[in-house]
Structure formats: structure tokens, C-alpha cells
Amino acid sequence: MSIEVFWTTGEGIAATHYRKSCDKVPITIAYLHEELGFSGNGEDYYNHENSLLPCVLENRKGLPLTLTLLYIFVGARVGMPIYGVNLPGHFIARVRRDLFDPFHEGRILSLADCADILARQQIELSDEHLENPESRQILARLLANLVMLTRLRRPSGNREWSIAGLPS
């Protein structure tokens, strides 16, 4: 999917789907996951391409953070504010008070579901976990993911390893 097609996606979904319904969240989820085929890349989760938006647009696979960013961008194009939720270990999305998980086919989440996600890490859900992160925080998390992925894929002892896997 080219960037030009991506930018027209919001306009296309608004013109073809939203006229029939006022509940935009399930329509957007169905459009991005079922019609366009975007999904979480559980098979190759640690592939650095999952953190690079151009690759996510091309492969239609990504991490929770990059798929949520996709929703945020499409939501902005159709006048539906979508926000990220910076849960430790799993980035999700919110529209108003509705939480959903773009990585898992847009599954609608309750507060109990969010508490379960955090409980696996021995963390108790608090209000601060559900706050909207600033753009700077989202970018920092994306970059931290790339650094971590680079370290995972770097051959041992090779200090000249770059994000793309090529000598710097």
C-alpha cells in the first residue's frame, strides 16, 4: 500500500461506510482488519519492519504501537479522534472511553482485560496507565522498540551493526 493510497483510505472509509452508521469504531476495525488485511505480526514479532510505518503499510503487519498509529492516522482523516494508551508491554487504542487492541484484530477491551494484560507483568492497573501519551512519549517508545530489536538481532561482538542490519 503506497502512502498516497493510505492517505485516501480515511476519505474512502468515510464516504463508503460511515453514512450508514454512527458507530465508527467497529466499522474502522472491520475496514482495516477485514477489508485491508492489517493485523498483528505474532509470527515474526521481533522483526524490525514491524516498527517501521512504511513497512507496516506494505506488509500489513505490525506491532501494537504501529497498528495503533495507523488507527490514529485514519481516525484523524475521518474526524474520529483515536488516542493511544501506553500500557506497559502492550500499546492499545481508545476512542472516547472505548478501549480496543489493534494488534489482536481490534478486540474490544474492558478495564478487566487491561488489568489482565498488566497482571502478567505483576503490575496493577492504575489511572495513569490509561492516560493519553504525548506524541513525544509515543516516539520514545517506538525508538526504544527499534533499539531493543536491533540489540536482539545484532551478531554477538559486532559493534558496527545498524538498525537495517547493515554495517554502519
For the chain, what are the domain ranges?
3-153
pLDDT band at 154 (very low <50, low <70, confident <90, very high): low
What percent helix, strand, coil does the chain show, rounded to 5?
A: 55, 15, 35
- 90: β partners: 87
What pLDDT, on a 0 to 100 scale, did the predictor assign at position 166?
42
* pLDDT of 46 above 80: yes
Higher pLDDT among residues 151 and 145, named by residue: 145
pLDDT winner (highest mean) among 3-7, 134-138, 151-155? 134-138
State how far the Cα of 95 lies from the Cα of 88, in Å rounded to an integer. 19
What value does the mean pLDDT take over residues 58-84? 94
pLDDT of residue 167: 41
Q: Which residue has the cell 545498524?
A: 162
